[in-house]
Amino acid sequence: TLVETATYTDRHGTRHPLPDAAAEAQVRADDRSHVFHSWSAQALIDPLPVAAGEGSTFWDYQGNSFLDFSSQLVNLNLGHQHPDLVAAIQQQAGRLATIQPSMASDVRGELARRIAEVAPGDLDKVFFTNGGADANEYAVRMARAVTGRRKVLSMYRSYHGGTATAISLTGDPRRWANEPSDGSVAHFLGPYPYRSSFHSDSPEQETERALAHLEQVITLEGANTVAAIILETVVGTNGVLVPPPGYLQGVRALADKYGIVYIADEVMVGFGRVGEWFAVNHFGVVPDLITFAKGVNSGYVPLGGVVISQRIASHFDTVAFMGGLTYSGHPLACAAGVATFEVFERDGILERVRDLGERVVEPRLREIAATHPSVGDVRGLGLFWAIELVRDRETREPLVPFNASGADAAPMAAVAAACKQAGLWPFVHFNRMHVAPPLVITEQELVRGLDIIDEALTVADGFAA
Ligand code: PLP
């Protein structure tokens, strides 16, 4: 039932009624009784019922609006209900809603071609999956098949997905409860200039020392046992860690030296987040495999995949690739992907990400860092930034401890609550707040969101020295 008790107003100024309180109660009841949620103690959560979304905003059933500074899970690059994506999905559904992967499909082929056109170097074939974790699973499988080796190296402070090998590759605490899983994974430390594991004084030194460490890990693990090195081009959930100059080139060189496959996980940063189709394009490196998901179609229909170099693809010219998924290259997902390319090109999305990042976000965050004692570091690229909060700027003690939960995490929960109260949906992880709005956010919305963060950080200042 739709009643005029709560409404939302779309970008054309049209008011829409929202479902009433009884509808909201039903959503809550069904959710609490029957939906089993990700990464949560089921009895301790209270998921917000969301009634509608448009652009960078979504509404709850009470008509409260939230400016989405997390792009959901950093996937909603073109915002909610983008008319071109919605129309593409509707049209495709009217013509051919599904087709099995061993048949050829026009939208699957067109999307693969368009991805190959923007991918670096000789990466020109695409294997489609349902999301990011399975993209990483398949990339690893390809690397193992091609090298005849088994081991995979991945970074501490990384996230690669929740399935068997992907959660083993993950270098954050979410893997612990799932261990042992894939025993052929070894972790290494990546560059993190603000909290250098290598006691470096400069980004250049961080690069040099992090690469020396990686080479040592390769050697100690046995270079001829290592099939692949996988790393997020810009580490996402674990801190928006932009690699210092030369680091990725160094990884490429080590991979070449030891015959190891370099997999770039661009599930979070691919498709415009940092102002390039693929983030590796920003750094001028060419991996052997790139995994993607999220931004390829803003998550309107689940889709991910692996972009494959000619060298790796040709290994399977006469040897069967043993892997597949019923929904690989699903037409509805691919139609939304093709529409994504059209919108990016027509609306100059990559250019606007670079412009808004440099002209609006970076200067404002530097200003915020200068005025709040709780801000230890701000860093990022394009429309992907982290604000790292500390108790003490001198010692850099994090505002909440690593892996904090419950009472330990209270200061960050208080900052998040202040944001929500002011109408901003933040992305908060441990002692960091990330700024990752939809790439279509208006400048006015961006400025308003950063103002809300500025204000909410006074709560964090209360916990800082
Ligand atoms: N890789 C990275 C870098 C991610 O950020 C994520 C998800 O957040 C994944 C992989 C897993 O993707 P999915 O949740 O689609 O399986």
The C-alpha atoms of residue 367 and residue 376 are separated, in whole angstroms, by 13
pLDDT value for 4: 46
Query: Could you report the per-residue pLDDT of 186-216, keeping only the tens digit for each?
Result: 999 999 999 999 999 999 999 999 999 999 9
CA 311, CA 303: separation in Å to the nearest integer? 24
Centroid of ligand 1 to alpha carbon of 175 (angstroms): 13
Give the per-residue pLDDT at 2.
43
Are 111 and 337 in contact by the 8 Å Cβ rule? The answer is: yes
Q: What is the pLDDT of residues 264-323, one digit of tens each?
A: 999 999 999 999 999 999 999 999 999 999 999 999 999 999 999 999 999 999 999 999
Which atom, in ligand 1's list, is nearest to the CA of 73? 8
345 CA distance to ligand 1 middle (Å)? 25
Cα–Cα distance measured from residue 4 to residue 433, given in angstroms and rounded to the nearest whole number:
36
Half-sphere exposure of 181 (CA within 13 A, CB side): 17
ipTM above 0.90, yes or no: yes
Non-local (6+) Cβ contacts of 416 within 8 A are 426, 428, 433
- Determine which residue's CA is closest to atom 13 belonging to ligand 1: 132
Q: Which atom of ligand 1 lies closest to the CA of 269?
A: 3
The residues pairing with 389 across neighbouring beta strands, listed in sequence order, are 375
Structure-token match 């690893």, residue found: 140
Say how many Å lie between the CA of residue 160 and the centre of ligand 1. 5
Report which of 417, 434, 349 is spatially closest to residue 78, judged by C-alpha positions. 349
pLDDT under 70 in the chain at which residues?
1-5
The closest-lying atom of ligand 1 relative to the alpha carbon of residue 162 is: 16
Amino acid identity, residue 443? Answer: E
Please identify, by atom number, the ligand 1 atom nearest to the C-alpha of residue 232: 3
Interatomic CA distance for residues 402 and 399, integer angstroms:
9
Is the CA virtual torsion 54, 60, 63, 68 positive or negative? negative
Residue 100 CA, ligand 1 centroid: distance in Å: 24
From ligand 1's centre to the CA of 154, what distance in Å? 14
pLDDT at 11 (0 to 100):
77
β-strand partners of 145: none
Computed on alpha carbons and rounded to an integer, the radius of gyration of the chain in Å comes to: 22
CA–CA gap between residue 412 and residue 460 (Å, rounded): 7
Pocket test for ligand 1, best of 128, 241, 268 (most atoms within 8 A of CB): 268
Total residue length of the chain? 465
Contact 68, 58 (CB under 8 A): yes
**Distance between CA 64 and CA 73 in Å, rounded?**
20
Task: Please report the pLDDT score of residue 5 as a whole number.
Answer: 61
Ligand 1 atom nearest residue 235's Cα: 3
State in Å: Cα 339 to ligand 1 middle.
Answer: 22
- Minimum CA distance residue for ligand 1 atom 7: 161
Q: Residue 255 has what pLDDT?
A: 98
CA of 291 to the centre of ligand 1 (A): 10
> Residue 98 gets which letter from DSSP?
-
- Pocket-forming residues, ligand 1, beta carbon under 6 Å: 73, 131-133, 136, 159-161, 232, 236-237, 265, 267-268, 293, 304
Which pLDDT does position 13 carry in this prediction? 84
Say how many Å lie between the CA of residue 234 and the centre of ligand 1. Answer: 13
The CA–CA distances, whole Å, from 71 to 56, 201, 236, 358, 422 equal: 8, 34, 13, 19, 17
Rounded to an integer, what distance in angstroms lies between the CA atom of residue 158 and that of residue 234?
10
pLDDT for 17: 86
